[in-house]
A = this chain, B = another copy of it.
Amino acid sequence: MVEHTLRRTPLSRDRVLRAAVALADEAGIESLSMRNLAQELGVVPMALYKHVANKEELLDGMIDAVVGEIDPPVPGAGWKQAVRGRILSARRVLQRHPWAPIAIESRTAATPAVLAYLDSMVGTLSAGGFSADLAHHVMHAMGSRMLGFSQELFDASRNAGRSGAAAAEPPAAPPPEFADRFPHLATIATAAFHDDASVVGTGCDDQFEFEFALDLLLDGIERLHRQGWTSHPA
């Protein structure tokens, strides 16, 4: 029975969560089923339920795991650099786990790790002299961007298809009638000075666009903060 006792390290909530994250990373969130996950762990599906209550809780655990990967705030910097740096770290994390945005958005309530992250973000703001009032609105305004979401309308990276980093197929040249039906989109798409201009949502430098929006927000926030904004601006 040696083979039997050595066959595998016993399951644990942690091992389940880690395997789930790995599976979602490499096969896409849509192939994360309790059955697939169990198979991956060499175990029968129902065994998982001894370690997570149900699939919802499994997802919550996965989210907490990835949110925990986000860098802690750098201590020295001012609020703006601290917030900016942390959000960019969050973005890096989410890029390692492309399923996470969908998973987080689909949850209705926040998980502990997410709350802790947001709490620390608010802490950075108050340390920077923000009123609770302004900090509150800022948190809302940043919304899910706070967690590194690019929240594009069509997010190519969100395909979550199989094999994770598999070569995204060449953007499938825009059909010729595209320019006729959507002339303005065609204009800004072909005016995409970055590397290659192909179709909307591709040929863009995602990182640039993300920082563009982030800095637009941060600059606006800084301005409000400096002029001591309070609930009745104009």
Name A's B-contacting residues (CB within 8 A). Answer: 102, 104-110, 112, 114-116, 118-120, 122-123, 126, 132-133, 135-137, 139-147, 149-155, 158-159, 181-185, 187-189, 191-193, 200-201, 204, 209, 212-213, 216-217, 219-221, 224, 231
Contact = CB atoms under 8 A, between A and B. Distances in A.
Contact of A119 (B102, B182, B204): B182
Contacts of A139: 188
A105 B105 contact: yes
A145 to B, nearest CB: 8
B193 A153 contact: no
A80 to B, nearest CB: 14
A148 to B, nearest CB: 12
Given A191-B133, A192-B136, A216-B221, A185 B143 contact: no
A219 B110 CA distance: 31
